[in-house]
Every structure is written in structure tokens, then in C-alpha cells.
Structure 1
Amino acid sequence: KQKKFQKKKGEFQTVKQQQSDTKGVDATSFSTVMCSGLNFEATEEDLRTFFGDMCDDIEEISIPLYKDGPRNRGVAFVRFNSSQAMQAAIDELDGKELMGRYLDLRVSTAKKTTGDTSHFVKALSEKPEMCRTVGVFNLKWQTTEEQLAEHFQECGEVFAVRVVSKNGRPQGFGFVEFVAMGAVDKAIKLTGSSIGGRPIRVDYAQNLDS
């Protein structure tokens, strides 16, 4: 296993040495993993691929972004449905490689942020020509295509809906295609609304028949 180093205040420390700062933390009180060393181009979809089958236990992924562009800040927060699932992810994936970077996974003890959270909002993708489709992210695994269609019907007539699965496992995102192009701009405004009690993120996407 390749040793990882991170520069801090003019000195080099191994990740394991840095983790000693949280050695006395009662991990059973928390359920969020902080992923440090993230590739600046990594997306939520990349992280879901990285966690693989553990995605069944993931409730939310937050990737802070710089306000002046789409690059992330090199860190992500992954909230699991239990402290046991969180610890299993750390034990299995700490130090593993994602997009050429070795990730440092540790328990996040940070309290939920309040106030200005604009840096957590992912920049919109470039809108494709003749766009009639949006991608919908951070879905609960139980979300159905009927629920997606119902949630977005206020934006315009829905032409097609797809909830993405891999080997029968929902991947936490889907697509909604409208009849009229004007509906997508209304749909984008539903970012932050909830489906099944979970806030969603909406972005422009290629049409499903492309």
C-alpha cells in the first residue's frame, strides 16, 4: 500500500498520524464520512461508483464547491444511515484510489452547517442544444419513476422518465424528459425541493433519445 502524505503548516504528516486527532471520538455517535484528498474534478456519480455496493446505505453526499467555478474543494461528506455502515466504509475504503488520488476517509464530527451554504451548490452543467431533459440527483433508493413524473409535472408535460439502476440496484439518480423545451428551466428551479423527504439536485442533461 502506497504511503500517503499531506503537507500541513510546513511539515509532512502521514494521514494515519493526522487521524490520531479523532482517536478518542465515539464513532457510534456519528454517521458521516469525510473524504479528503478528492480529485478536484470528481462528481457525486464518481463517489457513488467508488463506494459501490455501500451506496445502499448512503443517505446523502455533499461536495463543497468553489463559488467562482465548478471545481470542488478536494473534500466530500458522505452521510450513511448508521454508524456501523459508516465505519464499514472507512475500514474498507480508506487509502483506496479514486481518479488518481488516494482518499483519506475518517469520521466527520462537524455539526450540520447553517447560514450561507451556497458553496455546496453544484454549478449547472452547460445546457445542451434542444434540451428537454434534466438529471435528478440524490434520490432515495425507493424512488419510483411515477414519483419523479408526479414531482415534475408542474413544470410541463412529462414525455419520459428513467430511474437509473445497475445490476438491479438503484444508483440514486434519474432523468426526466419533457415535451416542451421551456419546461427544463422551470424544472431546474426545483433543486432543493424534496422527494420522499430528501432534497434533490436538478441539472441539465442530454435528451434520453440522444
Structure 2
Amino acid sequence: MPKNTAKLQGDDGQVKGKKRPIEVLQETSEKPETKPAKASKVKKKVLKEDAPEESASKIYISGVPRDCPESSIREKFAKYGTVVEVQIPPDRRRNKKRIAFVGFAESSAAKAALAEDGDLLDSKITVRLAGAKPDPSNPKDSEVPSSKAKAAKLFITGFGTDADAADALKQHLSKKCGEVASFTVPSSRSAKSKGAARGFAIVEFTEIKTAKSALKLNGTSLGGNKLVVKKYEKSRADEKQMQKQAATKQQQLEKEKAKREFRVVVKGFPKSTTRAELEEHFGSCGEIRTIALPQKDGNPRGIAFVSFSSEAAVQAALKLNAKEFQEKRTLEVWRALEKGEKEKQGTTPNDGE
């Protein structure tokens, strides 16, 4: 850029001071550069507009057991509508409970699934629409998160190995600290000392501040014994044991489901009817897993439980209700109810089995 110098003159016309450079700006036809609009804001706005539609058909589940497979979640929520996806985000902290997302084909199915208030592998779960903020007035949303629950659990040892010492510790904690939610004294699993107390307790408090108060008891005396109190950390042996128990529980549930889910009760046939004859009659409905013919005092009761491999087979079998069987007998066919539910005419799916 070209530069000129200008002399500074006073009122008397004499030059004063030094020469100062003066910049001369040249006119140009170029327009100053303007920053392009940030695309991220536009993109963010679009995403916000699309979010409600996606979240309306997806639910958020908390309290999911660590070892719970996707198939169990899918089966539990399939009754509300078509499940298109199940997501269980990875948990690097290895918490006992995890979260999951279930996507449905329709938003109405997701809304219906909000009524789910049960257990999943013996774990209490909480369900709400994905993206929805927890409602403090809702008891389900006000439950203590797993991370906070872990902070309220302590490992205590040094109190002794007999039952009286354990009872004294529990009373001591309740009096000095506050309400105790659970108090467990594990027993030995070895063959030599099986059933004997292992000399420590796992104590869970209802509030974190109560657990913090209990931590201050570390190093204090109780009945002449020095207590050791610290935060509870699961051992590998405990994790393996929990995984084994969860796997066994899942297998039992699957076996129970295989027996009960696709089963019908049949009455009205002659007591002399054989399994083969019933299998021939109901074989056209679909694949038959088992046929049970209960007896009483060694004599047939005149009732049968037919288990199929699919819901479609059950529906086909139900259509045989009031249809003719051998010797112009009229069959009664109805769905077998789940365990604990009252069966028609006082019968239960377990009768005779």
C-alpha cells in the first residue's frame, strides 16, 4: 500500500515535529468477505424438528440387569406392537443395572408400552418415552439411579463371626447412622465350613448421606472389635456367581415359557383316548411339542394339555372348540392360562404334570 509523508505545521507556518507516515487507502471494487452462515445451526434445527417423531416410537428402559439378553427385552415388549430394534448401550463402568432402548414400528405401541410396570429377570424396570425428561412427581422416575445406589452400599468387617455380633452391628448402624435398607452376611461355600459366616457384611443404606456417615465408623470399636468400613466393590467371584445365577434363571424362564406360552386345554374326549389320537386330531394346527394326559389315582381324568411351537398353531387349535371328535363327542378347547391364574372349572396347566 503506497505511503506519503505530511509535514506538521503550526500557526506561524513553520514545520514542527517529525514527518509522520500517512496511509492512503485505495478504492477497490472488491467487496469485503462475509462469513458463511453456520451450517451446524441449521442442521441442529432440522434434527430438533425430526426428534419428536423418532422418540415418539421409541422407549427408554432403566434398571435392566447386566446379563439380560436383547431377546428377553424383545419378547417382553412384543405384546405392545412390532419391535423393530433393541439397543443396549455398552457400559464401561460395569454397573449392576443398565439401560436399553426399544423402537416400535408405530408410536401407539410405544405409548402402550409405558404401562409396563413389572420385572425383567427379577429386576424392577422403569419405562418412559426416549428423550422425555424424568418427572419428579412420578415415583418410577424418582427411583435412585444405580450409580447412587452403589455409593450407598458398604463393606464392613471386624465385628465378629457369630450371629449376635452381626445383629449388634445392624442395631449399631441404625442407631448411629440411619435407616438400613439391606443387611447381608454371606456364608461360606466351601465344603469344610459350609454355612458358616464369612466374617463380613454387605450393608446398603436408603440414602447416600447415611452411608457417608457410616464410613466415619471405620476404625471405631464395637464390642471390643475394631470395625473396618469401606465402599463396597464387587469381586470377580461375586460377578461370576451373579452371571451364573442370571443364566440359570433365564434357562428356567425359557423352559417355562416353552411349556406354557403356546398351550391349550382340551376336554370332552373319551377317557380312553390316547396321545396318538389327540396328536392326529390337532396335528393339522401346527407343530406339537408335548401332549399331557393327567391322571388321578392311576385313572385318566379326561383332560389334556397340548403344547404347540407357535401362536398361529394355538389360534388354529382354538378353532376346534365345539367341533366333533370320535364317537360324535364335542370337544372343549381353550387357552391354558399362566401359572397362578385361575383356570376354567378349577383346572390348572400343572395338573397331573
TM-score (normalizing by structure 2): 0.22
Which one has a larger percent helix, Structure 1 or Structure 2? Answer: 2
Q: Which of 1 and 2 has higher RCO (CA within 8 Å, sep 6+)?
A: 1
TM-score (normalizing by structure 1): 0.36
Which one has a larger percent strand, Structure 1 or Structure 2? Answer: 1
